[in-house]
Amino acid sequence: MDLQLFQNLGAELEKSLGEITTKCTQCKRCVRDCAFLRRNGDPNELAQKFQNGTLDVKIIFSCSLCQLCTAVCTENIDPNRMLWLMRGWAVAKGQVDYSLFRGILNYERLGFSPLFRLELVTQGCKTLFFPGCATAGSRPHQLMHVIRLLRKQIPDLGVMLNCCGKPSHDLGRLEYFEDKWRSIENRLTVLGIETVLTACPSCHQVFQQYATGVTVKSLYQVIDISGEQQTLSRRKNIRIHDPCTSRFDTETQRAVRSLTRMLGFDHTEMRHHGKSTFCCGEGGSVACIDRELAKLWVGKRAQEADGSEVVTYCGGCAHFLSQSLVVTHILDVLLERHPDTARAVSVSRFPLTYFNRLMLKLKLWCGF
């Protein structure tokens, strides 16, 4: 974990600001696709306003931190990092009204609590499945099915129910995130874990960035569905939505497309996919600050989907995009294709998601 960054936030921010103000040519390439930048100015303008003390904190927290600006930058600079560091600075200076983020922070706090946490690790376990919070709450049946499949491949597979700390990380609560992440990493070391499998792209991004001493893979890269029966007819005109947290994760992107083909899908790529994918609107907790801006992202994705069904591999994206699109999580498809479990396919919403997480914990604890 890059503790040096957290300990020298001011210096890191100054370095990032300097890079943007000297190297950003204001070509507007990033502005072209980004709803946030079109509304608030290009990265160079934002950097100058921050240095001049005229950048509203609300604007800093209106960025989705989706990294699209970084992905398309013609000068190979990282505006996303600058905006994330600005958030950390605002938090450190006491400029953030946490009441605006009460919902997501309470959700995270409960995810870390003993009430929802669970470690199931047997002797000799080297591979751990970390499903994350969102999928555990909205799709417990799907997760149970996945765990059964994974244990056919990895008999001593362990399971950890916990929160990865992504909300606080993105909100700039760096000391809090560091403390929680250190506790997770310490447990991985104590348990002797060598490989972590993730279901949630946000968790995957956090583990990829901060986990040391372990190999991190998404379950989509390793799960074997070759023995699964297909019971439904082939569906056409499918689009795949890549979560922004998987923007640079080409291995998972390829694995998901391979799975969709095996599950009987044809798909056509949307213009913005893979490295250039759009945020669903939920990223960076923007909806807590500017609901209308978050909905603009939904609209952009709906426009490119052009009425087709969308398949994604992020629980948050599936939930948020469902405002305007027909969206299916790939785990839903996996379960509905299985003849013994098709009737169990369901997706839950708040507040049932909390009950589902407790029941999932109980079933895992009892050996389901």
Among the candidates 67, 96, 125, a domain finishes at 96
| CATH number for position 290 | 3.40.50
Residues 51 and 144 in one domain: no
- Same domain assignment for residues 10 and 85: yes
- Tell me which residue has tokens 């306003």: 49
Q: Which residue has the tokens 């640079």?
A: 248
User: What is the torsional sign of CA 208, 210, 213, 214?
Assistant: negative
Whether residue 112 sits in one domain with residue 89: no
Do 263 and 337 lie in one domain? The reply is yes
Q: Specify whether 129 is located in the same domain as 146.
A: yes
Q: In this predicted structure, what is the pLDDT of residue 208?
A: 97
Do 61 and 168 fall within a single domain? no
Of 164, 107, 115, 97, the C-alpha closest to 138 is: 107
Instruction: Give me the pLDDT at residue 342, please.
Output: 45
The string of DSSP codes covering 11-80 is HHHHHHHHHHHHH-----HHHHH-HHHHHH--HHHHHHHHHHT---HHHHTT-----HHHHH-TT---HH
Sign of CA dihedral 69, 70, 72, 75: positive
pLDDT score at 230:
56
Residue 229 domain-assigned (yes or no) = no
Which contiguous run of DSSP H or E holds residue 294? helix 291-305
pLDDT of residue 1: 45
**Whether residues 309 and 260 fall in one domain:** yes
Residues 264 and 219 in one domain: no
- The DSSP code sequence of 119-172 is EE--TT--EEEE--HHHHHH-HHHHHHHHHHHHHH-TT-EEEE----HHHHHTT
Residue type, 318: A
**Number of folded domains that form the chain:** 3
My answer on whether 243 and 285 are in the same domain is: yes
Q: Which of 329, 334, 155 is nearest to 231 (CA)?
A: 334
Buried b (16+ CB within 10 A) or exposed e, 86-106: bbbbbbbeeebeeeebeebbe
| 3-state secondary structure labels for all residues of 185-228 | HHHHHHHCCCEEEECCHHHHHHHHHHCCCCEEEEHHHHCCCCCC
| Residue 230 included in any domain | no
Last residue of a domain, one of 51, 79, 96: 96
CB 209, CB 170: distance < 8 Å? no
Residues 6+ apart with CB under 8 A from 75: 23, 24, 25, 27
Q: Which domain holds residue 24?
A: 3-96
Cα-Cα-Cα-Cα dihedral of 293, 294, 299, 300, to 10°?
A: 80
**pLDDT of amino acid 229:** 55
CA-to-CA distance for 117 and 106, rounded, in angstroms?
A: 15
DSSP state of 295: H
Residue 333 lies in a domain: yes
pLDDT of the chain, 368 residues: tens digit per residue = 455 566 789 999 999 999 999 999 999 999 999 999 999 999 999 999 999 999 999 999 999 999 999 999 999 999 999 999 999 999 999 999 999 999 999 999 999 999 999 999 999 999 999 999 999 999 999 999 999 999 999 999 999 999 999 999 999 999 999 999 999 999 999 999 999 999 999 999 999 999 999 999 999 999 998 876 554 455 667 999 999 999 999 999 999 999 999 888 899 999 999 999 999 999 999 999 999 999 999 999 999 999 999 999 999 999 999 999 999 999 998 887 655 554 456 788 889 999 999 999 999 999 86
Q: How many helices (H) and strands (E) does the chain have?
A: 20, 9
Does residue 211 form part of some domain?
A: yes
Q: What pLDDT is attached to residue 33? A: 94
11 shares its domain with 29: yes
Is 140 a member of any domain? yes
- 320: in domain: yes
> 126, 156 in Cβ contact below 8 A?
yes
Q: Are residues 86 and 23 in the same domain?
A: yes
**Same domain for 28 and 170?**
no
295: Cα separation from own chain's centroid: 18
Question: Model's pTM, two decimal places?
Answer: 0.94
